[in-house]
Amino acid sequence: MNFNGNPYNPYQYPYGFYPYGNLTPEEYFEKLAIKKFSNSIGAAFLILNSISFVASLVMVLLGSLNDAFLTWVIQILLSTLVFTVPFIVSTKIMGVRVSDIISFKKVQPSMLFPLVLAGLGVSMLGNMAASVISYTMSLFGIHPSYPDFPVPKGVFGGLIYFLGLCVVPALVEEFAMRGVVMGSLRRFGDGFAIFVSAMLFGIMHGNLIQAVFAFILGLILGYMTVASGSIWTAVTLHFLNNFLSLVISEITKGLSAGNNVIISCAYFILFLALGIIGAALYLKKYPAGFRINKSKLFAPTKRAVKYFFSAPLTIITLIIYAITFITNQVAMSFLNNF
């Protein structure tokens, strides 16, 4: 693009009009690109929420929620649908190919093992941050709400519960978040892509406590994907995080409050220590390990994030999730009072 000299000189344009406002031409077109990608991703979330809302309404009307096994079968099918099709559609709108933004290459154990251990340590820090926020809220009489699904009985019930809680979310959510969302945004810089995808990952969980934890977890999931060059590291950590949460909840089920605290603290200390060991092993083999590539943005990163979250369809998505946060909390507070 040739501006014949200083592109900021308004006298080079008719009537002294500079068409890019207070931005450089590069940043102006970058802003347009970020907003285009943001709207495409926002559209995927709007489709996701629309399908989920209709499906939940149908389940309530048909009484499907009274059957735990059927509830989880529907949940698996629904998750697979909403975290794949809308995001594949968004890649078409953005003009990118899935194969170009998501790598499914095999990760060497020497990289995968320490990265996953380090990731588990970070997830413990996320749990701690969420616990602190939850406790602080409780001091003001606000008790955070969590989604509550019935647990199916029997061998097949246990299997479907395991698939729906641990396996399917790790696969489809990582495809959407670290795959399509983060992968498509990496052209603007890895730091920008990791942060934005982590923010959306936290917001989409629909309640404050899970949002805080998911944001922190999303940061390490994003970094692991970038560092390893493969989405399988994030899938592995996501699966293990959900699986270990299931294990600890089963172990502490029915225990007294004191024993529950003791086991939870031991669990936290163990995996935090393993996380430190994993980070040390990773840095020993990859000394420049925890660095990310320099930003490719013309605009400052903060301004680029503002561009992303000010796109119309993304604003609508944020409003929907804000309403979800509030209604979930109000509903839970109402139930606790009765």
Q: What is the pLDDT of residue 64?
A: 59
Tell me how far apart the alpha carbons of residues 50 and 311 are, in angstroms, rounded to a whole number: 19
pLDDT digits (tens, 9 = 90+) for 108-148: 999 999 999 999 999 999 999 988 888 888 887 777 666 66
Helix, strand, coil percentages in the chain from 3-state DSSP, rounded to 5: 80, 0, 20
**Given this model, what pLDDT does residue 194 score?**
97
Question: What is the pLDDT confidence band of residue 332, given thresholds at 50, 70 and 90?
Answer: low
Rounded to the nearest 5°, which phi and psi values hold at 20? Answer: -110, 15
In angstroms, the CA 318 to CA 17 distance is 35
Q: What is the pLDDT of residues 181-210, one digit of tens each?
A: 999 999 999 999 999 999 999 999 888 888
Judged by DSSP in three states, 192 sits in helix
- pLDDT of 1 above 80: no
Is residue 326's pLDDT more than 90?
no
What residue spans define the domains of the chain? 35-300+309-337
Q: Are 188 and 165 in contact (CB under 8 A)?
A: no
Question: For the whole model, what pTM was predicted?
Answer: 0.90
Which residues 6+ apart lie within 8 Å of 275 measured at CB?
Answer: 117, 118, 119, 120, 121, 122, 124
pLDDT in tens, 261-277: 899 899 999 999 999 99
Query: Mean pLDDT over residues 317-327, rounded?
Result: 90
Answer whether residue 164 shows pLDDT above 60: yes
Tens digits of residue pLDDT in 279-314? 999 999 998 877 777 778 888 999 999 999 999 999
DSSP secondary structure code for residue 146 in this structure: -
Q: What pLDDT is stored for residue 4 in this prediction?
A: 41
- Identify the pLDDT of residue 47: 96
